[in-house]
């Protein structure tokens, strides 16, 4: 399979930027805001995805292309702020992936068994899972604090307003596609 050329990559990134990642949130409803842990988890993940797009641009000889500049342009970040956001996001993703991997290994023997015969996890395993869940929440909170600390208060407020305006979440249940 042929990989897309530099022009196709640039067009795809520009399309994704406008079609998916920068839509205003209009369907949040009046029931309240999305909690910070969910909001920033999604943001950190999205920044990491855009970094992957930027890495692909560089691999195709496009330096400082649309994906590389995405958050700098749409969120009005300086080059230094963009670098901080990327660094914290990538570190958060790696930390959370490590915790998720540990949790998955721990629960793997019980997933298939519990579906077939209603076997429950032993209390010791459930306690370890709870510990990993707490570790995950602490890691996410710590990365959010790093982000807040890295920005001047007024600049973090600008970034936070951008994130709250552009991150989009569905409040309807998932349905299967048939």
Using CA atoms, how far apart are residues 117 and 4, in angstroms rounded to an integer? 47
Tokens of 170: 């569905």
Q: What sign does the CA torsion over 33, 36, 41, 45 have?
A: positive
pLDDT in tens, 20-56: 333 333 334 444 678 999 999 999 999 999 999 999 9
What SS3 class is residue 118?
coil
Q: How many CB atoms lie within 10 A of CB 66?
A: 21
Reply yes or no on whether the pLDDT at 176 is more than 70. Answer: no
DSSP state of 22: T
Residue with tokens 């996890």: 121
Q: What does the alpha-carbon distance between residue 163 and residue 35 come to, in Å, rounded to a whole number? A: 12
Q: Give the model's confidence band at 170: pLDDT under 50 very low, under 70 low, under 90 confident, else very high.
A: confident
* C-alpha distance from residue 68 to each of 75, 149, 167, 170 (Å): 13, 23, 19, 27
State phi, psi for 176 to the nearest 5 degrees.
-80, 150
How much is the pLDDT for 115?
A: 60
Rg, the chain, Cα only: 19
pLDDT per position as a tens digit, 75-105: 999 999 999 999 999 999 999 999 999 999 9
Residue 44 tokens read as 């950190």
9: nearest Cα among 48, 70, 54: 54
What's this model's pTM, rounded to 2 decimal places? 0.75
CB under 8 Å to 85, separation ≥6 — which residues? 47, 71, 77, 147, 159
Residue 150: the pLDDT is 97
Q: What is the pLDDT of residues 111-146, one digit of tens each?
A: 776 565 667 789 999 999 999 999 999 999 999 999
How much is the average pLDDT of 151-175?
88
Q: For residue 74, is pLDDT > 70?
A: yes
Residue with tokens 């797009």: 53
More confident residue, 15 or 3: 3
Is residue 69 within 8 A of residue 27, CB to CB? The reply is no
């Amino acid at each position: 399979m042929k990989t897309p050329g530099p022009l196709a990559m640039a067009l795809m990134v520009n399309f994704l930027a406008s079609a998916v990642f920068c839509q205003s949130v209009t369907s949040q409803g009046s029931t309240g805001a999305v909690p910070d842990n969910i909001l920033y988890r999604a943001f950190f993940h999205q920044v990491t995805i855009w970094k992957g797009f930027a890495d692909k641009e560089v691999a195709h000889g496009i330096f400082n292309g649309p994906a590389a500049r995405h958050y700098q342009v749409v969120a009005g970040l300086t080059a230094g702020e963009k670098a901080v956001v990327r660094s914290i996001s990538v570190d958060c993703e790696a930390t959370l992936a490590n915790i998720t991997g540990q949790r998955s290994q721990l629960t793997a023997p019980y997933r298939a068994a519990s579906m077939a015969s209603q076997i429950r996890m032993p209390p010791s395993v459930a306690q370890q899972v709870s510990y990993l869940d707490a570790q995950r929440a602490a890691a996410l909170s710590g990365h959010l604090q790093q982000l807040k600390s890295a920005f001047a208060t007024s600049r973090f407020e600008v970034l936070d307003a951008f994130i709250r305006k552009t991150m989009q979440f569905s409040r309807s249940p998932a349905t299967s596609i048939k």
